[in-house]
Amino acid sequence: MASSLIRGKFVVVKVESRAEARVITDGAVFQRDGVVVEVGPYAELHARHRPDEVLGSVEHVVVPGFVNGHHHVGLTPLQLGSPDHALEIWFASRMTGRDVDPYLDTLYSAFEMLESGITTVQHLHGWRIAPAARVIGVAERILKAYEDVGMRVSYSYALRDQNRLAYEADETFAQRFPAPVSDDLAAYLKAQAIPLDDHRGIFTDLWEKCGRNTRDRARIQLAPANLHWCSDEALEALRDWSARYRVGMHMHLVETAYQKEYARRRSGGTALQHLAKLGLVGPQLTLGHGVWLDEADIDMAADSGTMICHNASSNLRLRSGVAPLNHWAARGVRVAIGLDEAGINDDRDMLQEMRLVLRLHRVPGMDDMVPTCPQVLKMATEDGAATTPYAGHIGTLEPGRAADLVLLSWRQIAHPYLDPQTAVVDAIVQRAKTAGVAMVMVAGEVVVRDGHFTRIDREAALEELAASLRVDLKPEEERRRRLSREVFPVVKRFYDGWLDEGARQPFYRPSSRI
């Protein structure tokens, strides 16, 4: 691999604290073979090294590559006909989705992610693709897409072994319908079932193909889908696999108030308390969402080293609530940022998501407790990296770390005027746009340069994706649409009476310090 010297008017090396980041003025990063060798003043590095290529200029700013800590699909649910319903009924509406080629679908979202500076993604998969052999085939297509575009990926197949459509047993829920709908729904849900041993086989097959998690840009984690989707037997198995194979777990948890109530009915306590009893809580676990954690849960997460991925856009879109980010931060919980199915603009724009996270939690008052720009940037870089198998390898621009970085146009950020006292990180987080992403580098390789993808023809791939969907619905797609229309109102009625007024209120008020 070639060496390169990447220059910037500013180089953001890493975030040091809520208030400070290490920034080098007129700095540079020297990388060789995909690894950062040295960071420092440009003049010194230019004199000391003989790179194969010099990139960037005094018109750019260099930042670590961003990490999308929670991602699922390419074409968004809205594009596939599923509006932003509340989560529990949204699952029923998603039955209408088209069958999309997983390779092209993954490329679609990878293009959007890279264009906003995302270099690593936690890809959580598992929608309607049993049996196990098919899961592996689809996973290989997804991993191939990331390989072809040059992106770094942590892939997980989400384990579900119960309650696939509503928060009760599949067979019991199907009996709520008259024949023949009950039979059709039972068959639909049964077709998604994968034996527990086969789930282990899916993981080990992909783990082996990724060199037992030694591949540079593709590694595997485990994903208990959610408490309501996993039996205790499945959770205990995942706990044991995580320990045996030394891989992390990423688990959706208490995304909605209904999920909080489900945990109470199942265990008599909170969802996180139940996971703790089963031995899953700890630094190997990342909680996706965590909107309805209570104060004791947050203390437990902090004390155990459990991490959280904050999905602000998704929670707003699906009426899940506003997560207690300020409380997580006050207790020292490590928090990543995820775009989930799609961001607030129905795309994957990490620059925009950082601004949403920054401003969503600005509670009234004058105390210094609201998110800061350095804090949010760290969530999108080093803390996001900590939730992946690349922890300690990416997320900062320190020597020995991977050369995953983004060149941003300083002119786009600062033109026509920016007060010179404005902190560099504040300016980046609040003003950088995707149009100003001049270059994206992964493992020392330029994969996006001036809007051009160096490894793959973006327009050809998108046209192939579009052409694949300019066809009539297949009989199976039509059947799912008919079934969705039957199921949707029953799913909605299922949750009638689940929440009293107290259950609808979190322990804090999003617009108050209380």
The pairing of strands 35-41 and 21-32 is: antiparallel
Compute the residue count for the chain.
514
- pLDDT of 1 reads 64
Domain locations in the chain?
Answer: 3-64+399-458, 66-386
- Distance, in Å, from the CA atom of 297 to the CA atom of 52, rounded to the nearest integer, reads 51
Mean pLDDT of 441-450: 98
The proportion of the chain whose per-residue pLDDT surpasses 70, expressed as a percent, equals 99
Q: 124 φ, ψ to 5°?
A: -105, 115
Give the pLDDT confidence of 74-100 residue by residue, as tens digits.
999 999 999 999 999 999 999 999 999
Going by pLDDT thresholds of 50, 70 and 90, the confidence category of residue 508 is confident
Q: Has residue 417 got a pLDDT over 90? A: yes
Q: Which residue would you say has higher pLDDT here, 508 or 268?
A: 268
- Average pLDDT over the chain reads 96
Name residues whose C-beta falls within 8 Å of residue 146's C-beta, 6 or more positions apart in sequence.
Answer: 106, 110, 121, 123, 152, 153, 217, 218
- Lowest average pLDDT, out of 132-141, 395-404, 467-476, 499-508, goes to 499-508
pLDDT band at 513 (very low <50, low <70, confident <90, very high): low
pLDDT 10s digits, 305-318:
999 999 999 999 99
Q: For residue 32, name the pLDDT band (cuts at 50, 70, 90).
A: very high
Mean pLDDT of 481-489: 95
The pLDDT of residue 280 is: 98
Q: Determine the 3-state secondary structure of 509 from DSSP.
A: coil
Helix (H) or strand (E) holding 260: helix 257-267
pLDDT value at position 500? 86
pLDDT digits (tens, 9 = 90+) for 368-394: 889 999 999 999 999 999 999 999 999
- Position 175 scores a pLDDT of 96
| Crossing angle for the helix pair 196-209 and 132-149, to the nearest 10 degrees | 30
Confidence class of residue 129 from pLDDT cuts 50, 70 and 90?
confident
Query: CATH topology of 3-64+399-458 equal to that of 66-386?
Result: no
Cα–Cα distance, 367 to 153 (Å, whole number): 39
Is residue 321 over pLDDT 70? yes
Task: Say whether pLDDT at 128 is over 80.
Answer: no
In this prediction, residue 318 carries a pLDDT of 97
Q: Is 238 helix (H, G, I), strand (E, B) or coil?
A: helix
Flag whether pLDDT at 178 surpasses 80: yes
The angle that helices 424-431 and 350-360 make with each other, rounded to 10 degrees, is 110
The pTM of this model reads 0.97
At a CB cut-off of 8 Å and minimum separation 6, what does 217 contact? Answer: 146, 147, 150, 151, 152, 153, 442, 443
**Contact 483/188 with Cβ under 8 angstroms?**
yes
Pick the CATH number of 3-64+399-458 from 2.30.30.360, 2.30.40.10, 3.30.465.10, 3.90.1330.10: 2.30.40.10
Any idea which architecture 66-386 has in CATH? Alpha-Beta Barrel (3.20)
